[in-house]
Amino acid sequence: MLGTPVTAPNQRTRDSADRDTATAAPPLYTIGSSAAERDRLRSQTDELHEHTVALLEHVGVQPGWKALELACGPRGVLEMLVQHVGPSGAVTGLDINPLHVTQARQHVTALGLPNVSVIQGDARRTALPAASFDLVYARLILVNIPDPERVVAEMVRLVKPGGWIACEEADGGAMLCHPPHPAYTRLTNTLKALYRRDGADIFIGRRLPELLDTAGLVDIGVEARADVPPPDHPRRTVILDILQAMSPKIIEQRLLSAAEHDQLDRNARSHLDDPHTMIVPHLSFMAWGRKAHQSA
């Protein structure tokens, strides 16, 4: 999934759920924590499970490691990290949205995972001690913020020499729909415009190796996947669902009127209901790299 971009400070908007629940800490995740957005974030952990398994295997996560997930959302991959690091390891989750932090805590408590803690913080400046993790992982945060390099720099600061950084990000370069449909095309173009206006790079997936390289990492690897969700699979409509969640912003920025959005959404969903329609929502990139040991 792409998630939804964090609005640059001078463009910040809040939905009604945010107004009810948010603290004063900026910047806010654009869509906040509406029930639909929370549910979508929780279920995407299952939907992207195979990608994450592959990424953690590429890294070779070991029992006993200390792992950090930045921007973990209400669930993220905390439970998957715990499975890999085992009872002798430890996992920390961090998110800027206090409601997501509370939900992630509830999630790990419900699963009975003792060696996980979830804290509130900004992935660009966590205030966690430098060189304190064997693995720093992040999914679908770099695509959603205007300054991804700052998060990558913080990841590098936090990982121990010899430790690993792992990222999973979307790339909107292949939002395929075949046969094409004008409503789906218009909506994907709207999504691209929203990201552009927020200063977020919807094509960031392909830039991951470059970002890790520029940050000074070594042993960099990359893998890209293009999922083709079958009829009735939740990811088939992920682009439309994200746009639904962003509807207030679409209207506020006058990209579409509410009536236009509703009509386009209905038309596009009806096209996607046709089992003969083939969808690739976006590309998924996984990249990993290691912080070099200090030279003698």
Q: Are 61 and 90 in contact (CB under 8 A)?
A: no
Q: Which stretch binds ligand SAM (CB under 6 A): 41-49, 128-136, 178-186, 242-250?
A: 41-49
Rounded to a whole number of angstroms, the minimum distance from the CB of residue 267 to ligand SAM is 26
| Interaction between residue 99 and ligand SAM (CB under 6 A) | no
| Interaction between residue 236 and ligand SAM (CB under 6 A) | no
Size (the chain), residues: 296
Q: Which residues lie below 8 Å from residue 138, measured CB to CB, with a gap of 6+?
A: 69, 70, 71, 123, 151, 155, 166, 167, 168
| Interaction between residue 71 and ligand SAM (CB under 6 A) | yes
Q: Which amino acid is at 205?
A: G
Q: Which stretch binds ligand SAM (CB under 6 A): 54-62, 94-102, 238-246, 274-282?
A: 94-102
Rounded to a whole number of angstroms, the minimum distance from the CB of residue 294 to ligand SAM is 28
Q: Which is nearer to ligand SAM, 144 or 188 (CB)?
A: 144
Report, in angstroms and rounded to the nearest whole number, the Rg of the chain calculated over CA atoms.
Answer: 19
Rounded to a whole number of angstroms, the minimum distance from the CB of residue 25 to ligand SAM is 10
Q: Which two tokens stand for residue 179?
A: 């046969």
Report the DSSP beta bridge partners of residue 118: 93
Q: Which stretch binds ligand SAM (CB under 6 A): 38-46, 156-164, 184-192, 211-219?
A: 38-46
Distance CA 192, CA 187 (A): 9
One character per residue 132-171, x = contact with ligand SAM (rule: CB under 6 A): -------xxx--xx--------------------------
Distance CA 159, CA 79 (A): 20
Q: Which residues lie below 8 Å from residue 11, measured CB to CB, with a gap of 6+?
A: 197, 198
Distance CA 253, CA 248 (A): 9
Q: Which two tokens stand for residue 75?
A: 């669930």
| Interaction between residue 29 and ligand SAM (CB under 6 A) | yes
Rounded to a whole number of angstroms, the minimum distance from the CB of residue 123 to ligand SAM is 3
Which of 205, 203, 192, 201 is CA-nearest to residue 246? 192
Rounded to a whole number of angstroms, the minimum distance from the CB of residue 180 to ligand SAM is 27
Q: Which is nearer to ligand SAM, 133 or 183 (CB)?
A: 133
One character per residue 105-124, x = contact with ligand SAM (rule: CB under 6 A): -----------------xxx
Q: Which is nearer to ligand SAM, 6 or 59 (CB)?
A: 6
SS3 114: coil
When CB distances to ligand SAM are compared, the closest residue is 3
Q: Which is nearer to ligand SAM, 125 or 293 (CB)?
A: 125
| Interaction between residue 37 and ligand SAM (CB under 6 A) | no
CA 150 vs. chain centroid, Å, equals: 16
Alpha helix (H) residue ranges in the chain: 16-21, 35-47, 49-59, 78-85, 98-110, 148-158, 182-198, 208-214, 238-245, 247-252, 258-273
Q: Which one among 41, 61, 135, 239 touches ligand SAM, defined by CB under 6 A?
A: 41
Residue 252, CB half-sphere, CA atoms under 13 Å: how many?
12
Q: Which one among 15, 95, 201, 241 touches ligand SAM, defined by CB under 6 A?
A: 95
Distance CA 147, CA 249 (A): 20
Query: What residues make contact with ligand SAM under the rule CB under 6 A?
Result: 3, 6, 29, 41, 44-45, 71-73, 76, 95-97, 100, 122-124, 139-141, 144-145
